[in-house]
Amino acid sequence: MTRALLTDFYQLTMLAAYHEQGMMDTAVFEFFVRKLPPHRNFFVAAGLESTLDFLARFAFTAEEIDWLAGLGKFKPAFLDWLGKLRFTGTVEAMPEGTPFFADEPILRVIAPLPEAQIVETRLINLLQFETLIASKAARVRLAAGDRQLVDFGLRRAHGEEAGMLSARASYLAGFDGTSNTLAGMRWNIPVFGTMAHSFVQAHATELAAFAAFARAHPQATTLLIDTYDTEAAAAALVPLAHELHAEGITIRAVRLDSGDLLAHARQVRAILDSGGLPGIKIFASGNLDEYEITRLLAAGAPIDGFGVGTRMNVSADQPYLDCAYKLQEYAGRPRRKRSEGKATWPGRKQVFRRFDAQGRMLGDVLTVVGDEQEGTPLLVPVMQDGKRLAPAPPLSELRAKTLAQLAALPETLRRTESAEPYPVVVAEPLRRLAATVDAYGH
Amino acid sequence: MTRALLTDFYQLTMLAAYHEQGMMDTAVFEFFVRKLPPHRNFFVAAGLESTLDFLARFAFTAEEIDWLAGLGKFKPAFLDWLGKLRFTGTVEAMPEGTPFFADEPILRVIAPLPEAQIVETRLINLLQFETLIASKAARVRLAAGDRQLVDFGLRRAHGEEAGMLSARASYLAGFDGTSNTLAGMRWNIPVFGTMAHSFVQAHATELAAFAAFARAHPQATTLLIDTYDTEAAAAALVPLAHELHAEGITIRAVRLDSGDLLAHARQVRAILDSGGLPGIKIFASGNLDEYEITRLLAAGAPIDGFGVGTRMNVSADQPYLDCAYKLQEYAGRPRRKRSEGKATWPGRKQVFRRFDAQGRMLGDVLTVVGDEQEGTPLLVPVMQDGKRLAPAPPLSELRAKTLAQLAALPETLRRTESAEPYPVVVAEPLRRLAATVDAYGH
C-alpha cells in the first residue's frame, strides 16, 4: 500500500494554503501526454488499477502526521485536518490497454481541490510508468508477431516496483509471461526461467551441466548454450539430447544470449536439424527490443521466442513521457495553463473514437464533455465518492482486450517506424472554450 | 522488506538442480560494470546499504513456498529446504560513494552456491539502479558547483522504490535535498517544495495566489512565476514583495519552470534588482540535467539553485548500466565466462587506488586478492556469516565522504564531457590467472 507521504512536499505546502483560505471547491484535473516520442505511433493506457487502489486507500498515518508536525512548518489545525483527509472524488478514465494519442486525457479526477491536488505525485508516478512500459511492450509484441515473448527485465528495472509493474504492463500489452516470480504470484502471470551462465560455469563441463539440469527438470527443459562456444555446445548437445530422450526427457529449447544472434540461430538450427532434433526450439535474449526483433525476423532468423529485458523494462530509447496532470476547472470555471510550450486544452474533455466495419480504428475527436460526437466515448466512470464502481478485471481479460485493440490499430501505426499521425481532431466546441478562457485571462 | 520471491524464476530452477546434486560448495560472485557509457568518466558506487539489508533479512515466507508448490514444478524436499534457506555468507564491497571504473568489482559475495545464486536478481536490481542514479547525480553536482540542487523527480521515477532510492542516491552524491517527502522522513533528507501551476490557476488572479501563499508560509516563501507570463509576474511581484515585507514576510525566491531559462532568468533578475529586491533568489527547474546546467552557467545565467527531476531520476541519457554479477570461483577453482563480448576477469579481485600528496586520485590497479599493490584497497569486509559487521552509517556522513571523493577526482574527469580514461591497470597476476583459466578450459 502506498504511503500518503510519498508525495512532493509542495503538495503539502499548497494544501496548507488551501486549508487556510478554505479553498475546498470542486477541482477537475486530467492526466495526458503532451506528445508522442520519436518513432512512436501510439500509447497504450496503463496504471489505472494501481491508481484506483491508491486513491481508495489514501490516508496519512499518525506517524506521518507526527513527522510533519516535527518539521515546524505546519499549523496544528491543518495537520489535524490532513490526518482525516480521504479521497472522496470521482474518476473517469480509459480502460487499461486502450491505445491513445497526444493531448487525449486518459484519466480525469473530480474532487475537492485539496484531494485532487494531494494525489498528483503518486498518480503521475503510476500512470506515467505503467503507460510507458505498456506502450513499449506493445511495440515489441507487434514486432514479434505470434512468437513467444517473456519479460526478462527485473534485474535492471529501476527498483522493485518498476520490476513488478513492468512485468504486469508487458503482460497486459501481450507478452506471454515474465521471469519475475513475485509478479507471477501476485497477478497470476505465467513465469518462465531456465538457467544462467553461472550454472554452466559451476559444473566441471558444460555437458555435465546440461545433463544435470535436464534430469532435475525433465519436463520442458531449456538449455543455455552460449557460455563458451555456442556452436560447439549445440553439436555436443545432439548426442546428449538423444540419450536423454531415451530416458524420457525432452529438451524443449536452447537459449542464445550473446554474439550475433542471427548467425548463431542459423548455425544452431542447422546443427540441431541435421542432428535429427528439429523439434528443439531456439529462444534468444540479450539487448533485445522491437527494433532488433524486427531486424532479426526480417532477416529470417530461425528464432521461436524472445526474452526481452532491460531495453523494454526501462523503455531505453525513451525512458519517460512528457506527461502532465493539470487543473482544467476549479469552482465551475475552466482553467488553462499557458506557460511557453506547455499550454493545455481547458475544461473536461472526452475522446470519441470511430471504427470501420471491420473494427479498425478510423480517427478520434477530442471535445468537451457534453458535446456528443460520432463514435465510442473512451473515458468512462470508474470511481465515485472515492469507491471503485467495479472490481478490478482479471489481468488475463485486460490482456485479451489489449491484444484485440492492437489488432484494430491502422496497419501503418503497427510498424516499428514512424507513420503518418493517427487523425485526432480537436472539435470546435473545445477550440471555442480555449479561446474564451484565454480572453477571460486564465 | 524485499520478498525473496522477487527473483528471476531461473534462480529457483537452478537451485532445484543444485539441491538435487548436492552442489553446496563455496561460490564467489562479483558485481561490476562492463563499460562506461558515452560521456561518462566515472561511476559512483551506491546500493550497498539496501543490498546488505536485503541479504540480512533474506527468507521465503510460507505463502511463497506454498505458491511455488502449487506450480507443480518442484519436489517437496527441495521446497522444504528452500523455506529454511538464509543468507549466511561473506560480503566485501566498496563503501557507498566511492568513484569506480569499468571492470572494477564493487561487491563480492562469498557463500554456499545456492545462497550466492538466489540473491542475484535483487542484488543487481538494487546495485544497478542506485549506482546509476548516484553516478548521474554526481555529474549534476559537479556541473552545478555549489548552487542549491533539489531532487524533483519522484513523479516520473519508475515507481515508488525508484523515487525513494533516487532521492537517497542523489542526496548521497551531493544534492541538497528532495521534494520526496517520504524519503525525507525515512532517511532524514531535507525536503523542499513550494507551489505548482495549479495553485496559481485555482486563484482568481496570479497576484492573489502569490499573496495567499506567502501569508500561509511567511518563512522562506518561493513563488512560481511562469504560469502565464514570467516577466509580467516578476514585475507585479515587486510592489507585492515590498507590501509583504512591511508585514514581516520575506519572499525568498522565485521559480522558473518553462521557456528559455537563461533569457527569463536574466530579465527577472533585472526586474527584481531594479525593483529593489536583489535578495530574492532565482530557482530554475524543467528538463534540467548536467548538460543544460553547464550550458546555463557557462552563459552566466543568474540562477541560484536548480530543481532536477526526470532526466536525473531515470538517468535519461543512459537509463541502465551494462553490469553483471558473475561467478568468479566455485569450490576453490576460479571461473570465467567467455561469451562473445562478455568475457570477464576470473577469481577474487581487489582494487588498489593511489593518491597524490594533495589527495587527488592518480590511478587504480585491478589484481587478484592476495597480490598486495601500492595504494588503498577499496573493497573491505562488510558482512560475515550473513550479519553486517557495522551498522549503516548516517546518510549525511556518507554524503560528506562522497563529496570529498568527487573533489579528489582528476580535474578532467569532473567535466561533463568525455575525458581521457582514468588509468586502471590490470596487474600481471590477474592476467596470468585469466590465461590459466582459459588454458584449463573454463
What lies within 8 Å, CB to CB, of A372 at 6+ separation is none
Interchain contact, B202 vs A316, CB within 8 Å: no
Predicted confidence at residue B220, as pLDDT, reads 76
Interchain contact, A10 vs B196, CB within 8 Å: yes
Residue B261: count other Cβ atoms within 10 Å of its Cβ.
26
pLDDT of residue B12 exceeding 70: yes
Interchain contact, B12 vs A161, CB within 8 Å: no
pLDDT-above-90 percentage for chain B? 95
- Tell me which chain B residues have a C-beta less than 8 angstroms from the C-beta of A27: 198, 202
Instruction: Tell me what the mean pLDDT of segment A113-128 comes to.
Output: 98
- Tell me which chain B residues have a C-beta less than 8 angstroms from the C-beta of A21: 212, 216
Cα dihedral: A191, A194, A196, A199 (round 10): 140
pLDDT of residue B439 exceeding 90: no
Return the amino acid letter for B199.
F
Q: For B9-134+318-349+378-424, CATH number? A: 3.20.140.10
First to last CA, chain A: 37
Between CA B24 and CA B115 the distance in angstroms is 9
Would you tell me the crossing angle of helices B290-298 and B120-144 to the nearest 10 degrees? 0
**Confidence bin at B237 (pLDDT 50/70/90):** very high
What lies within 8 Å, CB to CB, of B252 at 6+ separation is B220, B221, B222, B280, B281
How many angstroms away from the CA of B348 is the closest CA of chain A?
15
Domain extent listing, chain A: 9-134+320-440, 144-313
- Secondary structure, 3-state, B309-328: CHHHHCCCCCCCCCEEEEEE
Per-chain mean pLDDT for chain B: 96
**Confidence bin at A440 (pLDDT 50/70/90):** low
Cα three-residue angle B228-B151-A39, rounded to 5 degrees: 70
pLDDT of residue A323 exceeding 90: yes
Residue of A339, A344, A437, A438 to mutate for B, most B C-beta atoms under 10 A: A339
Predicted confidence at residue B437, as pLDDT, reads 87
pLDDT of residue A20 exceeding 80: yes
Predicted confidence at residue A47, as pLDDT, reads 98
Contact B388, B57 (CB under 8 A): no
- Residue with the larger pLDDT of the pair B280 and A219: B280
pLDDT of residue B343 exceeding 90: no
Cell of B219: 518563512
B231 to chain A, any CB pair closer than 8 A? The answer is no
Q: Which CATH class is domain B194-285?
A: alpha beta
Between CA B387 and CA A314 the distance in angstroms is 33
Question: Backbone phi, then psi, for B47, in 5-degree steps?
Answer: 105, 0
- Tell me which chain B residues have a C-beta less than 8 angstroms from the C-beta of A135: none
* A 406-435 residues inside an 8 A Cβ radius of B: none
Predicted confidence at residue A219, as pLDDT, reads 82
Summarize pLDDT for B177-228 with one digit per residue, the tens.
Answer: 999 999 999 999 999 998 999 999 999 999 999 999 999 999 878 999 999 9
Cell of A146: 505470434
**Confidence bin at A194 (pLDDT 50/70/90):** confident
Residue of A nearest to B196 (CA): A10
A210 to chain B, any CB pair closer than 8 A? The answer is no
Q: Which of A78-92, A357-371, B217-231 shows the lowest mean pLDDT across its residues?
A: B217-231
Domain A144-313: homologous superfamily in CATH:
Aldolase class I (3.20.20.70)
Return the amino acid letter for B354.
R
Residue A374's Cβ-side half-sphere holds a number of Cα atoms within 13 Å equal to 7
3-state secondary structure of B105: coil
Q: Would residue B137 be called left, alpha or beta, if left means φ above 0 and alpha means ψ between -120 and 50 degrees?
A: alpha
Instruction: Tell me what the mean pLDDT of segment A32-60 comes to.
Output: 97
B232 to chain A, any CB pair closer than 8 A? The answer is no
Residue of A nearest to B226 (CA): A339
**Confidence bin at A441 (pLDDT 50/70/90):** low
First to last CA, chain B: 37
Predicted confidence at residue A37, as pLDDT, reads 95
pLDDT of residue A121 exceeding 90: yes
Summarize pLDDT for B17-61 with one digit per residue, the tens.
Answer: 999 999 999 999 999 999 999 999 999 999 999 999 999 999 999
Instruction: Tell me what the mean pLDDT of segment A147-164 comes to.
Output: 98
Predicted confidence at residue B6, as pLDDT, reads 98
* B 349-388 residues inside an 8 A Cβ radius of A: none
Give buried/exposed letters for B62-99 (b at 16+ CB in 10 A, else e): eebbebbeeeebbeeebbeebbebebebbbbbbbbbbb
Say which DSSP state A145 is in.
Answer: T
Between CA B342 and CA A171 the distance in angstroms is 29
Instruction: Tell me what the mean pLDDT of segment A417-430 comes to.
Output: 96
Give buried/exposed letters for A215-251 (b at 16+ CB in 10 A, else e): ebbeeebbbbbbbbebeebbbbbbebbeebeeeebeb
Per-chain mean pLDDT for chain A: 96
Between CA B353 and CA B373 the distance in angstroms is 9
- Tell me which chain A residues have a C-beta less than 8 angstroms from the C-beta of B16: 216-217
How many angstroms away from the CA of A95 is the closest CA of chain B?
20
Which DSSP helix (H) or strand (E) runs through A109? strand A107-112
- Tell me which chain A residues have a C-beta less than 8 angstroms from the C-beta of B7: 154, 180-182
| Helix intervals (H) in B58-110 | 62-71, 76-84
- Tell me which chain B residues have a C-beta less than 8 angstroms from the C-beta of A12: 181, 193
Residue of B339, B342, B345 to mutate for A, most A C-beta atoms under 10 A: B339
Predicted confidence at residue A200, as pLDDT, reads 96
Q: Would you say the CATH fold of B194-285 matches that of B9-134+318-349+378-424?
A: no
How many angstroms away from the CA of A379 is the closest CA of chain B?
23
Residue of A nearest to B152 (CA): A8
Interchain contact, A201 vs B11, CB within 8 Å: no
Cell of B247: 508585514
B223 to chain A, any CB pair closer than 8 A? The answer is no
pLDDT of residue A337 exceeding 90: no
A8 to chain B, any CB pair closer than 8 A? The answer is yes
* A 149-208 residues inside an 8 A Cβ radius of B: 152, 154-166, 179-182, 184-185, 191-199, 201-202
Summarize pLDDT for B286-324 with one digit per residue, the tens.
Answer: 999 999 999 999 999 999 999 999 999 999 999 999 999
| Helix intervals (H) in A145-229 | 160-172, 181-187, 197-202, 206-216
Instruction: Tell me what the mean pLDDT of segment B253-265 comes to.
Output: 97
A117 to chain B, any CB pair closer than 8 A? The answer is yes
| Separation in Å, CA B120 to CA A156, B51, B255 | 11, 10, 43
Contact B119, B55 (CB under 8 A): yes
Return the amino acid letter for B326.
K
Q: How many residues does the structure list for chain B?
A: 442
pLDDT of residue B11 exceeding 60: yes
- Tell me which chain A residues have a C-beta less than 8 angstroms from the C-beta of B11: 193, 196
Interchain contact, A7 vs B217, CB within 8 Å: no
**Confidence bin at A437 (pLDDT 50/70/90):** confident
Instruction: Enter the pTM of the model.
Output: 0.97
**Rg value, chain B, Cα:** 26
Q: What DSSP string describes A263-300?
A: HHHHHHHHHHHHTT-TT-EEEEESS--HHHHHHHHHTT
Task: List the one residue out of B427, B436, B440, B437 whose CA is nearest residue B349.
Answer: B427
3-state secondary structure of B49: helix
Predicted confidence at residue B441, as pLDDT, reads 57
Summarize pLDDT for B80-92 with one digit per residue, the tens.
Answer: 999 999 999 999 9
B7 to chain A, any CB pair closer than 8 A? The answer is yes
Between CA B344 and CA B339 the distance in angstroms is 9
Predicted confidence at residue B438, as pLDDT, reads 82
Interchain contact, A259 vs B340, CB within 8 Å: yes
pLDDT of residue B138 exceeding 80: yes
3-state secondary structure of A178: strand
**Rg value, chain A, Cα:** 26
Q: Which of A176-180, A194-198, A379-383 shows the lowest mean pLDDT across its residues?
A: A194-198
Residue A107's Cβ-side half-sphere holds a number of Cα atoms within 13 Å equal to 32
Summarize pLDDT for B263-286 with one digit per residue, the tens.
Answer: 999 999 999 999 999 999 999 999
pLDDT of residue B261 exceeding 80: yes
- Tell me which chain B residues have a C-beta less than 8 angstroms from the C-beta of A18: 202
- Residue with the larger pLDDT of the pair A207 and B341: A207
Between CA A350 and CA A356 the distance in angstroms is 20
Interchain contact, A314 vs B158, CB within 8 Å: yes
3-state secondary structure of A375: coil
Q: For A9-134+320-440, CATH number? A: 3.20.140.10
Between CA A410 and CA A419 the distance in angstroms is 10
B330 to chain A, any CB pair closer than 8 A? The answer is yes
Instruction: Tell me what the mean pLDDT of segment B91-105 comes to.
Output: 98
